[in-house]
Structure 1
């Protein structure tokens, strides 16, 4: 039986922090302190080290059913499209087609694992197991893959 795995985008696969720091409008009002509203931010984020390879291993594994689960800022509707285009840029379309879920309440989804870097938007209340990416236990993609494949 396949295990259902949800993977957050920002901070887990896409380097949101770097994108926020390097964005030319990051310190301009009304974006200062609200990086999720930065125009075009989500379109060109760099991948986190090991993320593309790690996700591809999960996508290729027959015992995992993988979905991307991300929250898109309500006040930045272009981000919704940019997240979709971002995964298409880094992953084969046949592997990821119709596997992106944008949701502000991650606890409502049913699955075995959620890989997410933040407890917000329902991640900490997820009914399966929340793997806190970037934590001491799951600092990188190698640790996540070792755990899931154990």
Structure 2
């Protein structure tokens, strides 16, 4: 490209930015929903298991709203939630750090901007991205 019609920008990927981007990617968001529903399902399963144990092992009558079991199940559920969400967060951060080390650490990337066309040329394929109201700049 001619220097009068284009501007070349060079940037490097920051570790904190990549970790934030990885943590908010669609796959990770779906994984977080999956973990949330699995944890909720496990909480219900814990309550039902304790209810069955109370009926079969101790010979008590079946009560849907057994206050002691509800409180105990809630406490176990909260502990399980805290453990699960911390463990999944740690796993996500470890994977993001590993990806950053393997792929992006020490590399720099180039973006070219064509002044006349008002478009960015991005990536190896030089995909054209027009500058319009939908373009968002996250960091300058």
Q: Larger helix proportion, structure 1 or 2?
A: 2
TM-score where L is the length of structure 1: 0.25
Question: Which structure ranks higher in relative contact order (CA pairs < 8 Å, sequence separation ≥ 6)?
Answer: 2
